[in-house]
Structure 1
Amino acid sequence: MDKPYVIGMDIGGTNTVFGIVDARGNVLSKSAVKTSKHQDINLYIDEIYKELSVLIEKAGGISKIKGIGVGAPNGNHYTGNIEYAPNLQWRGVIPLSKLMSDKFGVPTVITNDANAAAIGEMTYGAARGMKNFIMITLGTGVGSGIVIDGKLVYGHDGFAGELGHTCSIRNGRLCGCGRHGCLEAYASANGVARTAKEILQNQNVDSLLRNTPIESITSKDVHYAALQGDKIALEIFEFTGKILGEAMADFVAFSAPEAVILFGGLTKAGDYIMKPIVNHLEKNLLQIWQGKIKVLFSGLKESDAAVLGSSALAWEI
C-alpha cells in the first residue's frame, strides 16, 4: 500500500485530538491541542500543523498519508465546512476541509462527531459487517449516526440524524438547542444530572447523592451512588433508560436496524443503563421487531475512539 496511513482528528469544544492510524485500526501515535486556545481559526490550524507534522514525520512523511478525516460539531460532509457550531468559539461557517487540505497538501473530509463515531464503529468496532445500524453517542449531549444499506445517512443538506433533538416529552425540559423536551435533555450525562437535581429538590427522600452539593451533581455521582445500591440513583437510571428505550423504539420504526450501538461516557454505567433501555425498547417495539434488535456498547477502545472514528472517514477518500 503506497499510502498506508490516515490521520484522524476529533474537534471538541475544549480539546482537539488527532493521530496516525493504519488500516487495521492501530493508532500509531496521537497528540492533542486546546481547541479553545485560539479565537483565530488560522492560528488554530497553524498549531495543528506544528503538532501533527511531528507525528507525520515519525510515520515516514506526508507521502505515506492517504488523507485526513475530521469529526467536528456541525461538520458538514457535503460542504467540508463547520457550520454555526454552538460549542466552538469560531462563529458562522468555517471552511475547515479546505484550510486543512491547503495546509497539509492531502485531501480532507469532515462530518459531525457522531457520524464519525458511526463510521469508526463500522470500520473497526462492534458494527463490523453490519449494513444497517444506529449509533447513539451519550455524552454531554446525545448525538447519532444512521447507517442504512452500508451507507451513512446525510440527508439533503448533510445534517440528517439529529436524533438527540427529537421530542421525548412534549413541552418538557429546556434543551441547549432552545427547544423543549428533546431526548438530549434527558438521556445525556447532563440529562442524568438534571434528573437527579429535580428529584432531590422536589422530593423529601434520603439518598447518598445528598452528600454532594445539588448544583455540583454529575452523572458520575449518580453512577457511584447506584454502585452502593442507592434507591434514588437506581430510579434515575431506570427513568433515563425508559426515555431512551422508548425513543429507540421510534428510531427502529423508520430504519429497521440490526443493532443500536451506544457510545460515550454514560455507557460506563453498564447494566444500570443498559437493562432499562432494553426493557423499555422491547416493550415499545412493534411485534415484527421484538427480540430482533441488538443493543450493544461500542467496540472501540475508549482512549482511541475519537481518533479512530474520524480516521475511518479518510479511507473513503
Structure 2
Amino acid sequence: MKVRIGIDIGGTNTKFGLIGPDGTILKRHRIQTSSFDSFDSFIKEVVEQARKMLKSEDELIGIGIGAPNGNVHSGMIESAPNMPWRYKLPIRAKVQEAFDCPVALTNDANAAAMGEKIFGGAKEMNDFVVITLGTGVGSGIYINGELAYGHDGFAGEIGHVITYPGGRLCGCGRRGCIEAYVNAKGILRTLAEEKYQFPDSELAQIEEKEINVKVIGQYAEKGDSLALHIFEKTGEFLGLTLANSMAYTSPEAFFLFGGITKVGEILREPVHRHMEANMLNIYQNKAKVVFSELPEDDAAILGAAALV
C-alpha cells in the first residue's frame, strides 16, 4: 500500500501520522519535543519512530513535516522561539538521509491551513486564515486559493506582529507581540496580573502552579468572574490583531485551531466581538471567526502529509 507520513513538530509535542491513499490516518504516535537535550538526538528519535510506523509491504511515497519557523525553501527550522534549540536546524536534509523518498517541510501553521483546506472547513474557500493557539501563536494564510509563503518562505507570522509596543517580552526576544498575550503562557500571565481585582473569585484562590487554560475554562463555565474576565481580555487582545490582519488579508474566515480552543464559545465570542469593534468599516461583518473542523492532532499531520 502506498503511504505517506505526516509529522507535526510543536514546541511541546511532536505528532506522527501514517496516511493511507484516501487520506485516512492509519497510525498515530507522539513524542515530547522538549525531552531531548540536542537536535541530533531528537532527529534520531523522529527517524526511529517514523520507521516503526511502516510495515514491510508499505510503499512510502513521501514524508511531510510541519514545524515552527519551518522554511519551505531552505528545508530548515530557523530560530523558532518556542523550540528547545535555536538557529538553523537542517531537518529536511537529516530526515532525507534516512529515507529513500521525497521529504518536504513547511511552517506548522501552514500545515494546519493546508489540512483545513483539503480536509476541513475551508474546502470551498479561497481566502482564509488559520490561527494556531498553543505553546506559540502561528498563522497560515490562503490568498486566491494559494498558501502565502512570501519571497523568503516566512510569510504568515501574525503571532509576532507587535500589537502592544513596549509590552510583554515575547519568546522571539521582542516586546509586545500578540503571542505573548494569547498563547498558553500569555493567558496565565494575564491571570496573574488581573486576579487581584477579583477577591471573591474561586479561581483567584487557587495556587498558580495548579492552573492551566483548561482549568480557567472550567471555572468560566461555572460563571467565575475572574475566569470570564481572562477570556474577555484574551478576546480583546486577539480580536484587535484579527481586525488589523483583515486589512491586509481580507479573508472569508479566521479559523481558530489548537488546544486553547477547547474552551469553545467562551473564547470565540469575545474574539469575534472585539474583532468587529476594531474593524475598518469596509470590512465589518464580512469575516467569520470559527473553530477548525479537524481534530487538533489531525490537521497539521494531514496538511504536512499533503506536501508530498
The answer, yes or no, to whether TM exceeds 0.5 is: yes
Does residue 132 (structure 1) correspond to residue 118 (structure 2)? The answer is no
Q: Displacement of 1:132 after TM fit?
A: 0.8
Q: Name the SS of the counterpart of 1:56 in structure 2.
A: coil
Distance in 2, matches of 1:172 and 1:216, equals 26
Measured against aligned partners, the alpha-carbon deviations of 1:198-217 in whole angstroms (never above 9, x if no partner) come to 0124x362211123113543
Does residue 142 (structure 1) correspond to residue 142 (structure 2)? The answer is no
Distance in 2, matches of 1:13 and 1:139, equals 9
Percent of aligned positions that are identical: 47
Measured against aligned partners, the alpha-carbon deviations of 1:36-86 in whole angstroms (never above 9, x if no partner) come to 45445444434333332232216x32xx32211101122111011112234
Does residue 152 (structure 1) correspond to residue 147 (structure 2)? The answer is yes
Measured against aligned partners, the alpha-carbon deviations of 1:145-175 in whole angstroms (never above 9, x if no partner) come to 1111111111121111111111222222222
Change (3 A) 1:172 1:35: closer
1:120 maps to which residue?
A: 115
Distance in 2, matches of 1:204 and 1:91, equals 39
Change (3 A) 1:89 1:244: closer
**2:198–2:226 contact (8 Å) kept in structure 1:** no
Distance in 2, matches of 1:78 and 1:105, equals 20
2:281 maps to which residue?
A: 287
Distance in 2, matches of 1:226 and 1:24, equals 40
- How many pairs align? 308
2:78 maps to which residue?
A: 83
**2:82–2:136 contact (8 Å) kept in structure 1:** no
Amino acid in the other structure paired with 2:277: K
Q: Name the SS of the counterpart of 2:105 in structure 1.
A: strand
Q: TM-score, normalised by structure 1?
A: 0.90
Distance in 2, matches of 1:14 and 1:243, equals 23
1:231 maps to which residue?
A: 225
**2:139–2:159 contact (8 Å) kept in structure 1:** yes
Q: Displacement of 1:303 after TM fit?
A: 3.5
Measured against aligned partners, the alpha-carbon deviations of 1:80-135 in whole angstroms (never above 9, x if no partner) come to 11122343344432221122122111111111211111111111111112111111
Amino acid in the other structure paired with 2:201: S
Which shows bigger deviation, 47-56 or 182-191? Answer: 47-56
1:73 maps to which residue?
A: 68
Distance in 2, matches of 1:170 and 1:92, equals 25
Change (3 A) 1:298 1:79: same
Measured against aligned partners, the alpha-carbon deviations of 1:210-242 in whole angstroms (never above 9, x if no partner) come to 231135432222111101101121111111111
**2:129–2:254 contact (8 Å) kept in structure 1:** yes
Mark the runs of 5 or more structure 2 residues left unpaired by the alignment.
Answer: none
Amino acid in the other structure paired with 1:45: I
Distance in 2, matches of 1:269 and 1:222, equals 9
Q: Displacement of 1:256 after TM fit?
A: 1.0
What is the root-mean-square deviation in Å for CA atoms of aligned residues? 2.0
